[in-house]
Amino acid sequence: MNIVVCIKQVPDTQDVKMDPERGTLIREGVKSIVNPFDLYAIEEGLRIKERMGKGRVVVMTMGPPQAEDALREAIAMGADHGILISDRAFAGADTLATSYTLAKSIEKLGSPWIIICGKQAMDGDTAQVGPELATWLNFPQITYVSKIIDMGDDRIKVERLTDYGYDIVESSLPCVITVNKEINEPRLPSLRGMMKAKKFKAEVWDSSSVEVDRRYIGLDGSPTRVVSIFAPPVKKGGEKYHGEPDELARHIARKLEEIKII
Amino acid sequence: MADQKLIVIVENCTGCGICEGVCPYGAIEVVDGIAVVYENCTFCGICVESCSFEALELVGGEGAEKKEAPTGYSGIMVYGEVLNGKLSRVSLEILGVARRLAEKRKCDVTALLIGNDVKRFAPDLIRYGADRVIVAERNDLDRFVDERYADIFSKVVEQYRPEIVIGGATAVGRALFPRVAAILKTGLTADCTDFDIEEGTGLLLQTRPAFGGNIMATIKTEYTRPQMATVRPRVFKPLPPENREGEIIEFHCDGYSPSFYKAVIDVLVTEGENVNLEDADIIVSGGRGVGSKENFKIIFDLAKELNAAVGASRAAVDAGWIPYPHQVGQTGKTVSPKVYIACGISGAIQHQAGMKSSDFIIAINKDPDAPIFDIADLGIVGDLFEVIPELIKEIRKRRGN
Ligand SMILES: Cc1cc2nc3c(=O)[nH]c(=O)nc-3n(C[C@H](O)[C@H](O)[C@H](O)COP(=O)(O)OP(=O)(O)OC[C@H]3O[C@@H](n4cnc5c(N)ncnc54)[C@H](O)[C@@H]3O)c2cc1C
Ligand SMILES: Nc1ncnc2c1ncn2[C@@H]1O[C@H](COP(=O)(O)O)[C@@H](O)[C@H]1O
């Protein structure tokens, strides 16, 4: 039974900025990292295996060859196996094409028990791949999971974060869950894991080894297209006050009155 | 078909590096005075447009060239989200922007309600801008179950064929919309902050922040329908309600029998404090500077005084002073209230990513060099434990007058 964790390599967003004068991206020194939310997904996969005493944690990523580094990090944390889905034909995928390709890869892998994604990826911030993946697979989905309450071979009960609190949700397995950072505290790589990661070579799947309908992959299979990028308006600081607390409080209160809050 | 290539026409390339700068994927670089394309190129074509020397060309992918959008789709559909027996404010905000788009596109606006006992919200939707409301009621739709809602939603779209479908980028919207988009095999743009209709093509231009708000991207869905998007709450304002005429249509949809089991068995509403930060007019946020769980009382006190929601930085959440649903920022919530009051928060870029788009930012911080002051409309250099009690007094005094 496979515990599949989908992870993505992303640029460290705090490094990605625009040069406001030239309207171009500044990329010098941008590091690649494992999408932060995906670390919680990996951790939860490992915990399921430990708690249940069974299952195989398989991390999967679609991306260019260097995305193998992301898998390696997961192996160091304790994942059993890593698959890199990589082919020029997959390039340029938006969330629909990405989720399709992942779905077909999961079908190829077989015996899915549970599929875990991060809540969202830090580059696009879309949070769409998880639910779209579930849809392609015709599996149920549970987004924003903050706790697994109970899990068996074919049932799961979780707590999901909502806009008003939490829902308790029950579902049959296999299903796709997306996790937020409340769910756990990701572990650091163990010594053994690091040894294993050193020797790790990802299993690489391309468009001939995964059975795909070419209409749904890569750029051609992507209905959305980015047509332009630009720098957000620069926000500048306004007035700044030093002084006695009561005086400072009056500055705030006056402002709140001005903008009709009080 | 997928064998696309981005070609550098060496004779024309001046090595100016503009393409390198505009590539969102870091896939092109000037090496020894000539642009070189790497294999992570996604053929988005942004560089081709940016090049003033016609040195870049996209070839192949004829499939893409010949694509045409399906016909027979028109109008804008707005998802009316009902949460806990209340119509979400964001639905009204979207009706406002939908009306503006409908004027440009010369089409009408339809609202969609899904749930049990939701028809009563139809008149509100009409007052705020809908020309008609489709109501899908069934007694198994009491609670939001993604798959059931998506099943009905997609059937409504298949029948009524709207050209554009928009909903709120709420917890529900961001679970429901991708499910619907994947059923319909169409494009979806998440968390938009601006829309327009493109001259000539009539396509929806969808603008959204990416990379933690460090860049903005405009996205189009050209060849599939509908064009779908979710909208960040509070970015658009609802129109003033009017007495308008509108049609209410009941949509009957039975026989949903998926091959799996899924149910919401309990709903826990966090009482007392408002955790629905995305919907709040005012947010008072506390950070590491607050110092302890007990001290957070002062933040809650001010929030109560202003009828505000309480936010927090990651540091405060990680310290266990306040639960995660209050966290604002890149790994928490993205908010844009009228007023955001940051207390004891330094304003790290990851925090800013979640609150930069607030209308008015007030920062209370002891350190005059804290980065939060770079974006605060009103910067207060002071001790929050001294300023907040005074502020509460001052507010009461002014209200008393
Ligand atoms: C600013 C911005 C906003 C966006 N908003 C939306 C949105 O609202 N809706 C939406 O649907 N999409 C959107 N997207 C796209 C969305 O972010 C991506 O779909 C999502 O991030 C998943 O893409 P990805 O995993 O392919 O990653 P990417 O960051 O696109 O990078 C990985 C890509 O490299 C490709 N690649 C390169 N070389 C190879 C190789 N040799 N073999 C295989 N693959 C290779 C991979 O296939 C993969 O497509 C947006 C993109 C940007 C830049
Ligand atoms: N290219 C990819 N390969 C594997 N998993 C991905 C990929 N893109 C997105 N995911 C998964 O989907 C989640 C949501 O991503 P997104 O929809 O892009 O915000 C991520 O946290 C990952 O778990």
CA-CA distance, B149 to B19, in Å (whole number)? 44
State how far residue A166 is from chain B, nearest Cα, in angstroms.
5
Kindly state the tokens that stand for B207: 């603008």
Put simply, the answer to whether B216 touches A226 (Cβ < 8 Å) is: no
pLDDT class of A22 with cuts at 50, 70, 90: low
Residues B123 and B13 in one domain: no
pLDDT tens-place string over residues B328-343: 998 899 999 999 999 9
Closest ligand to B39 CA?
A: 1
Put simply, the answer to whether A96 touches B186 (Cβ < 8 Å) is: yes
Residue type, B24: P
Residues B385 and B315 in one domain: yes
Least confident of A182-196, B55-69, B176-190: B55-69
pLDDT in the model for residue B23: 84
Boundaries of domain holding A24: 2-216
For residue B225, the domain's CATH number is 3.40.50.620
Residue pair A259/B339 in contact by the 8 Å Cβ criterion? yes
Q: How confident is the model over A55-75, as a mean pLDDT?
A: 96
Please say if the pLDDT value at position B67 is more than 50: yes
pLDDT class of B203 with cuts at 50, 70, 90: very high
Residue B271 lies in a domain: no
Query: Best substitution site from A35, A59, A136 to test ligand 2's pocket, by max atoms within 8 Å of Cβ?
Result: A35
- CA closest to B61 among chain A residues: A220
Kindly state the tokens that stand for B123: 């008149």
State how far residue B44 is from chain A, nearest Cα, in angstroms.
7
Say whether residue B308 is in contact with chain A using an 8 A CB cutoff: no
Residue A179 lies in a domain: yes
pLDDT in the model for residue B48: 84
pLDDT class of A24 with cuts at 50, 70, 90: low
Boundaries of domain holding B342: 282-399
What are the backbone angles phi and psi of residue B95, rounded to the nearest 5°?
A: -60, -35
pLDDT in the model for residue A20: 62
Kindly state the tokens that stand for A47: 């915990």
Say whether residue B249 is in contact with chain A using an 8 A CB cutoff: no
Residue pair A136/A115 in contact by the 8 Å Cβ criterion? no
Residue B148 lies in a domain: yes
Please say if the pLDDT value at position A164 is more than 70: yes
Residues B98 and B235 in one domain: yes
More confident residue, A202 or B16: A202
Q: Considering only the beta carbons, identify the residue of A131, A229, A239 that sits closest to B379.
A: A239
Residue pair A204/A79 in contact by the 8 Å Cβ criterion? no
Rounded to 5°, the CA angle B160-B152-B112 comes to 55
Beta bridge partners, B79, equal B112
Please give the distance, rounded to the nearest whole angstrom, from the Cα atom of residue A118 to the centre of ligand 2.
7
pLDDT tens-place string over residues B73-100: 999 999 999 988 899 999 999 999 999 9
Kindly state the tokens that stand for A253: 């209160």
Residues B198 and B84 in one domain: yes
Residue A106 lies in a domain: yes
* Number of C-beta neighbours around residue A245 at 10 A: 18
Domain count, chain A: 1
Residue type, A110: G
Residue A64 lies in a domain: yes
Residue pair A69/A140 in contact by the 8 Å Cβ criterion? no
Residue B334 lies in a domain: yes
Q: Which of A76, A80, A74 is nearest to A55 (CA)?
A: A80
pLDDT in the model for residue B55: 87
Kindly state the tokens that stand for A225: 């297209």
CA-CA distance, A5 to A19, in Å (whole number)? 36
Say whether residue B149 is in contact with chain A using an 8 A CB cutoff: no
Domain count, chain B: 3
Put simply, the answer to whether B331 touches A216 (Cβ < 8 Å) is: no
- Is B12 annotated in a binding site? The answer is no
Residues B107 and B173 in one domain: yes
Residues B371 and B231 in one domain: no
- Is B348 annotated in a binding site? The answer is yes
Say whether residue B59 is in contact with chain A using an 8 A CB cutoff: no
A26 contact residues in B (CB cutoff 8 A):
21
Query: Best substitution site from A6, A7, A123 to test ligand 1's pocket, by max atoms within 8 Å of Cβ?
Result: A123
CA-CA distance, B75 to B164, in Å (whole number)? 7
Residue B110 lies in a domain: yes
Whole-number CA gyration radius for chain A: 22
CA-CA distance, B197 to B115, in Å (whole number)? 31
Put simply, the answer to whether A228 touches B325 (Cβ < 8 Å) is: no
For residue B364, the domain's CATH number is 3.40.50.1220
Quick one: how many helices (H) and strands (E) in chain B? Answer: 11, 22
Kindly state the tokens that stand for A165: 């609190």
pLDDT class of A230 with cuts at 50, 70, 90: confident
What are the backbone angles phi and psi of residue A169, rounded to the nearest 5°?
A: -120, 135
Q: Which residues of A211-243 are buried (b: 16+ CB within 10 A; e: fewer)?
A: ebeeebbbbbbbbbbbbbbebeeeeebbeeeee
* Neighbouring C-alpha atoms within 13 Å toward the C-beta of B329: 25
Residues B167 and B204 in one domain: yes
CA-CA distance, B167 to B114, in Å (whole number)? 13
pLDDT in the model for residue B300: 96
Please say if the pLDDT value at position B65 is more than 60: no
pLDDT in the model for residue B401: 60
Residues B55 and B200 in one domain: no
pLDDT tens-place string over residues A203-228: 999 999 999 999 999 988 999 988 88
Residue B67 lies in a domain: no
Report how far Cα A5 is from the mean position of its chain's Cα atoms: 10
Q: How confident is the model over B346-350, as a mean pLDDT?
A: 94
Put simply, the answer to whether A243 touches B221 (Cβ < 8 Å) is: no
* Number of C-beta neighbours around residue B159 at 10 A: 10
Report how far Cα A90 is from the mean position of its chain's Cα atoms: 18
Q: Considering only the beta carbons, identify the residue of B44, B178, B390 that sits closest to A132.
A: B178
For residue B46, the domain's CATH number is 3.30.70.20
Q: Which of A32, A40, A43, A38 is nearest to A77 (CA)?
A: A43
pLDDT class of B1 with cuts at 50, 70, 90: very low
Residue A244 lies in a domain: no
Tell me the three state secondary structure of residue B253: coil
Nearest CA residue ID for atom 1, ligand 2: A62
Put simply, the answer to whether A163 touches B221 (Cβ < 8 Å) is: no
pLDDT tens-place string over residues A241-253: 999 999 999 999 9
Please give the distance, rounded to the nearest whole angstrom, from the Cα atom of residue A106 to the centre of ligand 1.
19
Residue A210 lies in a domain: yes
Residue type, B211: F
CA-CA distance, B89 to B125, in Å (whole number)? 11
Q: Which of A160, A128, A155, A129 is nearest to A143 (CA)?
A: A160
DSSP classification of residue B241: P
Q: Considering only the beta carbons, identify the residue of A92, A181, A230 that sits closest to B42.
A: A92
Put simply, the answer to whether A13 touches B387 (Cβ < 8 Å) is: no
Q: How confident is the model over B117-130, as a mean pLDDT?
A: 97
Full-model pTM: 0.85
pLDDT in the model for residue A88: 86
Put simply, the answer to whether A225 touches B220 (Cβ < 8 Å) is: yes
- Is B52 annotated in a binding site? The answer is no
pLDDT tens-place string over residues B264-278: 999 998 765 567 898
Residues B95 and B51 in one domain: no
Residue A86: partners with Cβ closer than 8 Å, 6 or more residues away: A62, A63, A64, A65, A67, A204, A205, A206
Please give the distance, rounded to the nearest whole angstrom, from the Cα atom of residue A79 to the centre of ligand 2.
18
Q: Which of A22, A35, A131, A82 is nearest to B180 (CA)?
A: A131
pLDDT in the model for residue B266: 96
CA-CA distance, B23 to A125, in Å (whole number)? 18
Residues B40 and B189 in one domain: no
For residue A106, the domain's CATH number is 3.40.50.620
Q: Considering only the beta carbons, identify the residue of B61, B174, B330 that sits closest to A219.
A: B61
Residue pair A139/A115 in contact by the 8 Å Cβ criterion? yes
Put simply, the answer to whether A164 touches B279 (Cβ < 8 Å) is: no
pLDDT in the model for residue B272: 57
Please give the distance, rounded to the nearest whole angstrom, from the Cα atom of residue B238 to the centre of ligand 1.
33
Contacting B residues, span 71-100, partner chain A, CB-CB under 8 Å: 83-84
| Long-range pairs of B208-212 with CB within 8 A, sequence gap ≥ 24 | B208/B232, B209/A125, B209/A232, B209/B357, B210/A123, B210/A124, B210/A125, B210/A229, B211/A11, B211/A13, B211/A16, B211/A122, B211/A123, B211/A125, B212/A13, B212/A14, B212/A16, B212/A122, B212/A125, B212/B330, B212/B349, B212/B350, B212/B353
Residue B258 lies in a domain: no
CA-CA distance, B182 to A132, in Å (whole number)? 5
- For B30, counting Cβ atoms within 10 Å of its Cβ (0-12 exposed, 13-18 middle, 19+ buried), the class is middle
Residue A81 lies in a domain: yes
pLDDT tens-place string over residues B283-327: 999 999 999 999 999 999 999 999 999 999 999 999 999 999 999
Choose one of B33, B59, B85: the last residue of a domain.
Answer: B59
Quick one: how many helices (H) and strands (E) in chain A? Answer: 6, 15
Residue B296 lies in a domain: yes
- Is B200 annotated in a binding site? The answer is no
Tell me what the pLDDT averaged over chain B comes to: 92
Please say if the pLDDT value at position B61 is more than 60: no
What are the backbone angles phi and psi of residue A162, rounded to the nearest 5°?
A: -120, -175
Does ligand 1 have an atom closer than 6 angstroms to the CB of A73?
no
| Residue labelled with tokens 């997928």 | B2
More confident residue, A148 or B8: A148
pLDDT tens-place string over residues B26-54: 888 888 888 888 877 877 778 887 888 88
Q: Which residues of B141-153 are buried (b: 16+ CB within 10 A; e: fewer)?
A: bebbbbbbbbbbb
A135 contact residues in B (CB cutoff 8 A):
150, 178-179, 182-183
Residues B115 and B209 in one domain: yes
Q: Considering only the beta carbons, identify the residue of B21, B26, B210 that sits closest to A19.
A: B21
* DSSP assignment of B109-168: EEEEEEESS-GGGHHHHHHTT-SEEEEEE-GGGSS--HHHHHHHHHHHHHHH--SEEEEE
Nearest CA residue ID for atom 11, ligand 1: A95
pLDDT in the model for residue B351: 96
Residue pair B136/B152 in contact by the 8 Å Cβ criterion? yes
Residue B324 lies in a domain: yes
State how far residue A21 is from chain B, nearest Cα, in angstroms.
12
Residues B104 and B142 in one domain: yes
